Structure 1
Amino acid sequence: MEELVSQVIGYLRGMWRFRWWGLALAWLVGVAGGVAIYLMPDKYESTARINVDTQSVLRPLMSGLAVQPNVSQQINMLSRTLISRPNVEKLITMADLDLGVRSPAEREALINALMSDLQIRSTGRDNLFTLAYADTRPERAQRVVQSLLSLFVESGLGSNRQDADAARRFIEEQIRSYEQKLTEAENRLKDFRLRNMALLGAGTRDYITQIADVNEQLRQARLELREAENSRDAMKQQLASGQSEADFAPPPMLATPEIDARIETLQRNLDDLLQRYTERHPDVVGARRVIEELEKQKQDLLAQMRENPVASPMGGFGMGSGIEQTRLALAQGEARVASLRARVTEFESRLETLQADAQRIPQLETEMAQLNRDYSVHKSNYDALVSRRESASIAAEMNTQAGIADFRVIDPPSMPTKPSAPNRLLLLPLAALVGLGAGFALTFLISQLRPSFGDPRQLREISGLPVLGTVSMLPTPERRRKRRNGLIAFGGGLAAYAGAFAFATAALKILQG
């Protein structure tokens, strides 16, 4: 600490030797600064205060029906982005600032100056903003603030309308896109249903029932086919055995051709009905009842023919000619076998078709679910977009009719009568301090360029040589008087410096009134 104090004292002693240089520079810098401050042009600041009221009675009433934008956030963002180049160019035209512009360079300089000088200050609450601009001409400052105020209001209202219009245009484009997607999904679903109409009409359980019914019909047809084949084979053996004509009994198959044809027709109709209806359907029940009655009538007729062959309906064919009857019955038996084989083939084909269709049902259901899911997604998005479009339209109409944000001018742009800048009362003392600082810096610089040593220890430390002794200067009356006069003159110079700036500041204050 002692070394530090000694070093500081050494610096001050070195600077004291060149104090007159520092005082001269202080006077020079101070006077030059004072003159520059005095010659600075006056600037007049015009201000205006505006309040943006974002509270509206319609906002709680229209909650849930219209889009509720964050108006406060929009206004704050507008206040930060209003001073942009396009807005400043528009403001120059509105305030007639371009009348004195003669070149693009001057216009560019004017734009840059306005962008740096225009101010929009917010109080941080209640959406209260202050617009300010300072200019050398008070009427021009007022005109610029008035134009900025108009631009602020127009930008606030216009941005809401532009945002609403842009939102509606975007939603309209999305609605048209989803209309196309929805139409394509509907067409795919329609084409799928048309292609698979026969399979989509019944579920998996219905196909199982149909397969069981066709299996039963196929079993019954195969049984009838075996019976018909056995009867035919028996008649063939009877003809091949060579029996006498009297040994031939009237074959029962020849006795009821009309009834058999009706039974076969009803059986085909019953097969068709079972493909469409269940066993309990009235048409199916009625067809089975008629078939049972015909079967009973056939059995009664056959019994009657066995008891009285001559009186039977087939008597006209000549029951005495048994061989001919047997041959005729054999031909009819062949025809019945062929008919039953065709029925068996038909039932087998139906069974294969039903089994193949039943295997395709899960795949069709999966495809149907995918198509329905795509359609549901597009439909829900389309409905949501339509709802949002209506909400945006209501919000736009609400903004137009009632105005969500109300711009209220609290203080109109003022006409300044006193300059707001420069603050000469503050700048003059600062110029004095700057002059003193410049003088202090000059003395320190010269002391470092032309150093001196105030004690033997400092000389020994810097030179590295031993100091054998020192010679002191004797204070004579002449030296004491000269030193005292020098101190008085230096103090007088400093006092005159401070007094001159104090007098200039007081005079300036009196002039400004």
Structure 2
Amino acid sequence: MQLVARHKELYVLCALVIMTVVFAVSYLLPRKYESSSTVFIEKNVISELVKGITVTPSMEDTINVLTYAITSRALLTKTMESLDMNLGKEANNEELIKELQKNITVKVKEKNNLFIISFVHSDPRISRDFVNTLVRLYIEQNTSSKRGESYDATKFLSEQISAFNVKLQKAENDLNAYKREKGGIISIDEGKLFEEINLAQQKLYDLELRRRQLEGMRQATRKANDPLQSKLLALQKRLDDLRVQYTDSYPEVLTVKSDIETVKEQLKARKGAEPQPLDPQELAKIESEVTALKNAEAGLRRYISQSKQTLQSIPTAKAGLAKLEVERENQKKIYDQLYSRHGQSEVSKQMEVQDKSTTFRIVDPAVLPVKPSSPNRLIIMLAGILAGVAGGLGFLALRDQLDGSVKEVSMVKGLGVPVLAVVPRMLDLPQALKLRRRSLRIFAGAALYFLLLLVFPAMELLDLPYMDRLLDHLAPVSQGIKGMMH
């Protein structure tokens, strides 16, 4: 405050100079115009009606890649070519694309399915045309790419359906041929065949037992045709038959054993008796029955052997059939899925062709901006006023620090020099009045100048474009001067 009081004229002039420089800079900064377009991602009602029948791109996926798609190099290059922005700048095409990407802003509102595309440029017409062209090309590219994908998907599915139809027919033919070749084995019931083999083996055992009995009878008949001997053979046969079904402790088995012992005792008592003559008819009958039993045994053995081989081949045959059936089912399943997807693809293609799926509707196209978006002169000027106030103080403080003259007695005492006397600052009255009048004139002029400076923020606040018009008129003159200097 003491510095301001001592150097108030200098403080005011310094503050006004800083304000003037900031105000001038606010008008000399290049003007940037921002244009924006609002696009609504609209989902058609038909999409909900055919939900599950068609396959359409997800709206969430479209929104997620929106920023990258709009600022892509390919799309920006097309937009520049449409507006002839790259004429004569082919060498700096990469830098121009980076500059455009930096000036493009995409704001996405996922809840409302809206996105806003903004672009900043020094020319308001280029700013407007660039945004509208960029949005138009993006919508066209998005629509054409979805149509192309639908056509490619339908074509691919048609090719796969044809290929899998051939594979399915081959699998069907292989399965039918295998059934014709192995049908007899496959149709056999393993459990029933196993039972038949067991029954055949039991029957074979019975036949062998019967044959051995007859062979024993034949030997006995050849030795003697004795009634006791015949009775013994009959009892022996009966005992063998009973042992097949019962144990030795069975009552009837015990009875037959007792009868056999009795006959044997009678034969021993009659030892030395002459044998009876041989009966040829009885022997021939036994021989005939033994031959028939041997033939029956041979047939049963062939049947058992063939049945066992068949039983062993059934699992292999059924495994081969199951493998062919699984292959046929897999091919059929894939074919059915492809056929179903092909129908969905056809409907999806028609929806894309007729724009019945997700569509982009331009809610608010870009218009010619009248007021520049930057620089914000009002904010810069207000900041300049504050900078003038603070800068004046800083200038006085710096000037005071650089001034090496003695300002206080304590400063001299700090040097260790004895102070002999202090002479106060004295001004005569005429000189004081003269300085006061000069200060009043300076303050009055500064106040008027400050009021003049306040006119510029007021014009910005009231949106009066007088200074912009003046700068536009002076722009050709400054360009001409620059050209002459070059």
Q: Which interval holds the TM-score relative to the shorter structure?
A: 0.5 to 0.7
Question: Residues 356, 488 of structure 1: CA spacing in aligned structure 2 closer, same or farther, 3 A cutoff?
Answer: same
Separation of aligned partners in 2, 1:96 and 1:505: 38
Of 209, 221, 232 in structure 1, the residue corresponding to residue 207 of structure 2 is: 221
1:349 maps to 305
1:203 matched to 2:203? The reply is no
Counterpart among 11, 17, 24 of residue 35 in structure 1: 24
Amino acid at match of 1:34: F
Whether 1:147 aligns to 2:103 is no
Query: Counterpart amino acid of 1:339?
Result: N
Provide the rounded CA distance (Å) in 1 between the counterparts of 2:32 and 2:424: 61
Letter in 2 for 1:342: A
**Aligned with 1:53: secondary structure?**
strand
Q: What RMSD in Å do the two structures reach over aligned CA positions?
A: 5.3
Q: 1:499 and 2:458 equivalent?
A: no
CA–CA separation in structure 2 for the residues paired with 1:335 and 1:432: 139
2:295 alignment counterpart: 339
| Contact map agreement 2:150 2:352 (CA 8 A) in 1 | no
Q: Is the 8 A contact 2:19 2:385 kept in 1?
A: yes
Contact 1:14 1:451 (8 Å CA) reproduced = no
Contact 1:123 1:129 (8 Å CA) reproduced:
yes
Q: 8 Å contact 2:16–2:388 — kept in the other structure?
A: yes
- Structure 1 residue 104 and structure 2 residue 91: aligned? yes
Cα distance, 1:392 vs. partner? 2.9
Amino acid at match of 2:59: V
The Cα of 1:206 is off from its aligned counterpart by: 1.8
Among 62, 70, 73, which residue is 1:85 paired with? 73
Q: Summarize the Cα distance change of 1:123–1:328 in structure 2 as closer, same or farther, 3 Å threshold.
A: closer
The answer to whether the 8 A contact 2:40-2:363 is kept is yes
CA distance in 1, matches of 2:445, 2:101: 46
The change in CA–CA distance for 1:485 and 1:15 in structure 2 (over 3 A counts) is same
User: Greater shift after overlay, 493-502 or 136-145?
Assistant: 493-502
Q: Cα–Cα, structure 1 residues 434 and 183, in superposed 2: closer, same or farther, change >3 Å?
A: farther
Identity %: 22
Distance between the aligned counterparts of 2:339 and 2:393, measured in 1?
78
1:424 paired to 2:372: no
Q: How far apart in 1 are the matches of 2:213 and 2:359?
A: 100
Gap change, CA 1:27 and 1:215, over 3 Å in 2: same
State the alpha-carbon separation in 1 of the partners of residues 9 and 211 from structure 2: 145
Amino acid in structure 2 at the alignment position of 1:229: E
Summarize deviations over 1:187-206 as a string: whole Å, max 9, x none.
Answer: 99779868865553233432
Kept in 2, the 8 Å contact 1:18–1:446? The answer is no
Q: Does 1:390 align with 2:377?
A: no
Question: Counterpart of 1:253?
Answer: none
| 1:114 to 1:203, Cα distance in 2 relative to 1, 3 A | same
Q: 1:67 aligns to what?
A: 55
Q: Check 1:232–1:491 CA distance in 2 against 1; reply closer, same or farther (3 A cut).
A: farther
Confirm or deny that 1:158 pairs with 2:144. yes
Residue 433 of structure 1: how far off its partner (Å): 3.2
Question: In structure 1, what is the Cα distance between the partners aligned to 2:407 and 2:423?
Answer: 13
CA contact 1:224–1:340 (8 Å) conserved in 2? no
**What amino acid sits opposite 1:343 in the alignment?**
G
1:95 corresponds to which residue? 83
Cα distance in 2 between the residues matched to 1:455 and 1:193: 123
Superposition deviation, residue 23 in structure 1: 6.2
Whole-angstrom distance in 2 between the partners of 1:193 and 1:78: 58
Quote the Cα distance in structure 2 between the aligned partners of 1:226 and 1:458: 151
Deviation readout 1:232-279 (Å, 9 max, x if unpaired): 5457x36xx8x9xxxxxxxxxxxxxxxxxxxxxxxxxxxxxxxxxxxx
The CA deviation at 1:87 is: 0.8
Equivalent residues in 2 for 1:125-274 (5 A)?
126-165=112-151, 197=183, 199-226=185-212, 229-230=215-216, 233=219, 237=222
CA–CA distance in 1 between the matches of 2:408 and 2:324? 104
Whole-Å Cα distance in 2 between the matches of residues 452 and 368 of structure 1? 116
- Following superposition, the deviation at residue 125 of structure 1 comes to 5.7
Q: Find the aligned partners of 2:366 and 2:465 in 1 and give their Cα distance.
A: 29
SS of the aligned residue for 2:54 comes to: coil
Question: What secondary structure does 1:92 align onto?
Answer: helix
Gaps of 5+ in 2: 226-278, 470-486
Q: CA deviation at 1:86?
A: 1.3
Q: Distance in 2 between matches of 1:439 and 1:196?
A: 110
Q: TM-score, normalised by structure 2?
A: 0.62
Distance in 1 (alpha carbons) for counterparts of 2:339 and 2:447: 84
Gap regions ≥5 residues in structure 1: 1-11, 244-321
CA-CA distance at 1:88 after TM superposition: 0.5
Deviation of the 1:151 alpha carbon: 1.0
Counterpart CA distance in 1 for 2:174 and 2:395 is: 92
Which residue identity does 2:43 align to in structure 1?
T
Aligned partners of 1:83 and 1:118 also within 8 Å: yes
Please tell me the residue identity of whatever aligns with 1:160: K
SS at match of 2:139: helix
TM-score, normalization: structure 1?
Answer: 0.59
In 1, Cα distance between equivalents of 2:219 and 2:405: 153
